[in-house]
Amino acid sequence: MAPRPYWKGYLKLSLVTCPVSLTPATTEANKVRFQTINKATGNPVRSRYVDAETNKPVEDEVRGYETEPDKHVIIEDEELEAVALESTRTIDIDRFVPADSIEWIWYDSPYYLMPDDEVAQEAFAVIREAMAKTGTVGISRLVLSRRERAVMLEPRGKGIVLWTLRYGDEVRDPEDAFKDIDGAKSDPKLLSMITTVIEDMTTPWSGSLVRDPVQERLQEIIESKRKKQAKKPRKTAKGSEPEPPNNVVNIMDALKRSISQEKKKKS
């Protein structure tokens, strides 16, 4: 069953326009979510905004920007609307860039973009195939959840993947983070050995490689409690606990053992 559209509007390139719909490419529907409960009554707890000074409930909330400690400039809704996109329902592609020129660190959230009716299919396909043929992706802006986002449109199979992008001031310069790392070259022998380890451990990609064991365990606990069945904790076998690692490690010996273990696994 296809998920319900998250957003509906129009895709526009120059004079070509077609109705489209947007669906999140990822989901957290299967994640375990907890509610805050009043232990005495078993009822859900409801949160409210209160004034930080008077502790009284707030009835009229506005947006404020802190200019200095405890001093704020109030921004009205009309002022926010004045600087927003003219149309919140149109993805107007205003430029293209080479598909391989945007690094992954700029990517934020993925969505699937698709034609919204049969009439739109031809115009949608022309835009998608033209991007694929030229090796480019489209750059535009879009309002999602009342927030204006920069977006990238990437052809993918029969559809288009729309990525929201981080803004320029949201991405830190990696040089600042890595400046204290020693840039000396690695020992060729060690490099050769660790390369062998990587090659032995390389497998085809599968979504099962990034499963969430914590969520799976929580589901088991919840199901157990739901059935009111006590589950005995597993006892750890004597002597099965791993030995604490030695602070002084001979990397050459460790690599030799790693290569040996990987070869035994493969055989």
**CB-based contact 131:137 (threshold 8 Å):** yes
pLDDT band at 256 (very low <50, low <70, confident <90, very high): confident
Q: What is the pLDDT of residue 133?
A: 95
For 92, half-sphere exposure in the C-beta direction (CA atoms, 13 angstrom radius) is 9
C-alpha 200/C-alpha 263 separation (Å) is: 7
pLDDT band at 52 (very low <50, low <70, confident <90, very high): confident
pLDDT band at 239 (very low <50, low <70, confident <90, very high): low
- Does the pLDDT of residue 243 top 70, yes or no? no
Angle formed by the axes of helices 251-266 and 188-201, to 10°? 30
- 38-64 average pLDDT score: 88
pLDDT band at 267 (very low <50, low <70, confident <90, very high): low
**CB-based contact 32:219 (threshold 8 Å):** yes
- Does the pLDDT of residue 144 top 90, yes or no? no
- Does the pLDDT of residue 47 top 70, yes or no? yes
pLDDT > 90: percent of the chain: 31
Mean pLDDT of the chain: 83
107-115, strands of its sheet edge to edge: 90-92, 7-13, 16-24, 107-115, 159-165, 147-156, 136-144, 95-98
- Does the pLDDT of residue 127 top 60, yes or no? yes
Residue 165, classed as helix, strand or coil, is: strand
Q: What is the pLDDT of residue 232?
A: 57
Please report, to the nearest 10 degrees, the dihedral formed by the alpha carbons of residues 204, 208, 209, 214 taken in order: 180
Domains of the chain: 13-26+84-165 (2.40.290.10)
How does pLDDT run across 171-230, given as a tens digit for each residue? 888 888 888 888 788 888 888 988 898 888 888 988 777 777 777 777 777 778 777 655
